[in-house]
Homo-oligomer: A and B are copies of this chain.
Amino acid sequence: MSTRRAATLRLQDVAEAAGVSIATASRSLSGSPGVSETVAERVREVASTLGYVANVHARSLAGGPTRTVGLVVHEIGDPYFSEIASGLLGVGAREGLTVQICHTGRDPERELAQLRMLIANRVGAIVIAGSGLVDPSLQAPAKAELQTFRRAGGRVAVIGRHHLGVDAVLPDNVEGARAVARHLLDLGHRRVAVAAGSRQLTTVADRLAGLQQAFADAGLDFAAVPVVETDFTRAGGKAAAEQILAEHPGVTAVLALNDDMAIGVLSALRARGVSVPREVSVTGFDDVAVAGDLAPSLTTVRLPMGEMGEQALVLALKKPGTRPRRRHVDAELVVRDSSGPPPS
């Protein structure tokens, strides 16, 4: 790619046009103290009429603050992440930041590689949107990398439960799962199955814990509930539904641990001619934009993904506290048409 040099305005051009030194121009534009407001104002005006935009590379190289943040997601094509990204890009644009997005494909190796890349790019902050892992040792290298980054002044925020010791936006997965399970139990379902992603994901683990609590609250044994563990994706949902239908034909409700899986479950049931919710109820988690437009519309747990993305970036932009900050966000049960009483 580009090798030649753009013939763009340099700070010096602005300084000359404003009749000040390059240092004064720099101070004026970056809002540093030590310049009279009159001069600063004039410099800013000259800069904007000239259409001057600072070279971020030079700025970063010289040790100035970085106006770039990295966003790490499992898969941007997944609506859960694209809605988070959308919220985050919104505040990014408002703050005049550039956002680098990278995929990990749910692979800790690739996550590590992407983190290294972001750090090498000297981003000012990193937001990790993908779920954490239950086993801390799997993220140990990432943690080490991030600690070095933070010691050098970098900021980090995560969405979801991680073992990274950083600021976090924490959706209430446990309570949300408890609510949706209680909803099904209240409707009278007793033979339920769970379509889950890998238990290694803290998101999955926490949602399972919530289900368990709901069962315990009702005096039921969650250990007897079949939990099918596949990919945390639509395809995984399909596979899980097939397996549940085959191995547990008496099931009256399928709890999918995210909407993507729920959509796969609905699709598999439709293909098999199973009526939802008459024969089998289905629930999801996240409330992605399309959840309400499916037919039957999906009963699920709403997480404000856009806001979560915003919050995470806001946290990452704040000055670091002495201890990791936590922003809890509520999960709200949304009852729609995919859940109903079990067939009698």
Contacts and interface: CB of A to CB of B under 8 A. Distances in A.
Interface stretch (A57-65, A208-216, A248-256): A57-65
Count chain B CB atoms within 10 A of each CB in A1, A83, A114, A290 and give the residue with the most.
Answer: A1
Given A93-B110, A102-B89, A267-B292, A1 B66 contact: yes
Contacts of A66: 1-2
Interface string A121-156: 111110000000000000000000000110011110
Interface in A65-81: 65-69, 75-79
Contacts of A68: 100, 121
Contact of A86 (B3, B6, B65, B103): B103
Contacts of A122: 2, 6, 55-57
A155 B2 CA distance: 7
A314 interface: no
A48 to B, nearest CB: 12
Interface stretch (A36-44, A188-196, A293-301): A293-301
Given A77-B85, A85-B76, A4 B152 contact: yes
A220 interface: no
A129 to B, nearest CB: 12
A65 B317 contact: no
Contacts of A110: 93
A146 to B, nearest CB: 12
A154 B85 CA distance: 26
- Identical subunits present: 2
Contact of A99 (B2, B101, B289, B306): B101
Interface string A1-27: 111111110000000000000000000
Nearest to A117: B98
B77 A83 contact: yes
Contacts of A58: 57, 61
B65 A55 contact: no
Which of A60, A93, A293 has the most C-beta atoms of chain B within 10 angstroms of its own C-beta? A293
Contacts of A289: 77, 234
Q: Please indicate which of the listed interface residues A89, A119, A270 has the most CB atoms of chain B within 10 Å of its own CB.
A: A89
A165 interface: no
Contact of A120 (B55, B83, B152): B55
Contacts of A65: 1-3
A169 interface: no
A116 interface: yes
A101 B102 contact: no
A79 B149 CA distance: 33
A266 interface: yes
Interface of A: 1-8, 53-58, 60-61, 63-69, 75-79, 82-83, 85-86, 89-90, 93, 96, 98-103, 110, 114, 116-125, 148-149, 152-155, 234, 263-264, 266-267, 270, 289-290, 292-296, 306, 317
